[in-house]
C-alpha cells in the first residue's frame, strides 16, 4: 500500500511542479493534462493492486508474500560512479 501512496504523491508533485510551465502551453486545455494523469495513475493502481474482496487476512498475506518473493530490489546491483 505504501508503494501506491508514493505513486500518487509523485503524480501530485509532478502536477504541481509542472503547472506553472504547462499553463502558457495548454491554456484552457490544462484540465485534460490532469485528467490524463489521473486516468494513468488510476489504471496503474488498478493493474497492480491485488483484488482482496471476499478474502481473509491470512489469504491476502499469503498472496502478497508470494508476490513479493518474486521481486526484490536486491536483485539489482548498483555500480559505484
Domain assignment present for residue 36? The answer is: yes
16-52, pLDDT tens digit by residue?
898 888 888 888 888 888 898 889 888 888 887 777 8
Domain assignment present for residue 35? The answer is: yes
pTM of the model: 0.49
Domain assignment present for residue 23? The answer is: yes
pLDDT attached to residue 80: 58
Domain assignment present for residue 52? The answer is: no
Domain assignment present for residue 22? The answer is: yes
pLDDT attached to residue 39: 92
54-75, pLDDT tens digit by residue?
889 898 888 878 776 665 555 5
Question: How many other C-beta atoms are found inside a 10 Å radius of the C-beta of residue 50?
Answer: 9
25 φ/ψ angles, rounded to the nearest 5 degrees: -80, -40
Domain count, the chain: 1
Domain assignment present for residue 26? The answer is: yes
What DSSP string runs through the chain? -HHHHHHHHHHHHHHHHHHHHHHHHHGGGHHHHHHHHHHHHHHHHHHHSPP-TT--HHHHHHHHHHHHHT--GGGSPPPP-
Domain assignment present for residue 81? The answer is: no
List CB contacts of 67: < 8 A, sequence separation 6 or more: 50
Q: Which domain holds residue 12?
A: 1-47
> Given a cut of 60, is residue 4 above it in pLDDT?
yes
Amino acid at each position: 500500500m505504501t508503494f501506491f501512496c508514493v505513486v500518487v504523491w509523485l503524480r501530485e508533485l509532478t502536477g504541481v511542479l509542472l503547472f506553472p510551465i504547462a499553463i502558457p502551453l495548454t491554456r484552457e486545455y490544462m484540465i485534460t493534462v490532469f485528467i490524463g494523469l489521473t486516468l494513468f495513475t488510476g489504471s496503474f493502481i488498478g493493474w497492480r493492486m491485488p483484488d482482496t474482496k471476499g478474502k481473509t487476512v491470512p489469504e491476502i498475506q499469503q498472496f502478497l508474500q508470494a508476490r513479493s518473493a518474486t521481486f526484490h530490489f536486491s536483485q539489482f546491483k548498483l555500480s559505484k560512479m
